[in-house]
Amino acid sequence: MALRVIMMGPPGAGKGTQGARLARERGLVRISTGEILRDAIREESATGERVKAVIGRGELVDDDTMIGIVRERLAAPDAKQGFLLDGFPRTVPQAEALDRMMAEDGGGPLLVLDVRVPFQELVRRLGTRRVCEMCGTNADPFGPLTTVCGHCGGRLSQRTDDNRDVVSERLKVYEQQTFPLVEYYKSRPTFRVVNGNQPPEQVAFEMNTLLEDAAVVGAQVGRARLS
């Protein structure tokens, strides 16, 4: 059965890092709404122009825009083979819209991975993160200090929303608008909490184990629905 994964967690939890690996290993389409928006800003599209200031302030882009973006992306044929959502849903209306899309589409239940990391560690990670201006890849935080991307040779710099004031706003917005989603999902049998405050390989190991387990339970739920 095609896996449908949501990677939840605060800014800096490691959603991008782990999401890219998991999607690659499992053959899933990774849909990072933050990356889609940053691409739109880089391309100076109408959406990009509209969301630039909102992202710069660390606030959330409006639900209608985000739901429209994800609805369109999930309708593409490659997403039918399984997907991993990174950064969506981020509000209860987004989660409700996603449930409606899933119901229309049939298929198995959503597997929800909620990555937890203490506040101070999030602040540390975001304050030190360097990202490639060309391909958007994070520099290896454990690698040698460099200004050049190891993947494409592009220049590494700080993400515009990683300065101290904006980070503080993003974390506040997460607590107020996104953390309530834990309540929304936590009673589902396919919801799992991941300890993101460990070395990346250990996070990956824990995530794989929890995902396998959630997928088995998800398949049982899917069969029960059909019978």
Q: Which residues bind Mg ion (CB under 5 A)?
A: 16
Q: According to CB under 6 A, which one of 4, 30, 125, 192 is a site residue for ligand AP5?
A: 125
State both tokens at 1: 């059965």
Indicate the residue among 65 and 221 with the shorter CB distance to ligand AP5: 65
Catalytic member of 15, 21, 38, 125: 15
Is 90 among the catalytic positions? yes
Specify whether 186 is catalytic.
Answer: no
| Residue 15 annotated in active site | yes
For residue 57, the tally of other CB atoms under 10 A from its CB is 14
Residue 138 DSSP code: B
Alpha-carbon gap, residue 150 to 171, rounded angstroms: 29
- In the numeric block, which tokens belong to residue 76? 């593409």
Residues 149-168 contacting ligand AP5, CB under 6 A: 161
φ/ψ of 114, rounded to 5, equals -105, 110
For residue 30, what are the β-bridge partners?
84
**Min CB(78)–ligand AP5 separation in Å:** 20
Q: Does 123 bind ligand AP5 (CB under 6 A)?
A: no
The yes-or-no answer on residue 170 being catalytic is yes
Determine contact, residues 171/122, Cβ cutoff 8 Å: yes
Binding-residue total with ligand AP5 (CB under 6 A): 31
Bridge partner residues of 86 (DSSP): 7, 32
Return the H-helix or E-strand segment holding 148: none
Supply the residues annotated as catalytic: 15, 90, 129, 159, 170
Q: Which residues bind ligand AP5 (CB under 6 A)?
A: 9, 11-17, 33-34, 37, 54-55, 58-61, 66, 87-88, 90, 94, 125, 129, 138, 141, 161, 170, 199-200, 203
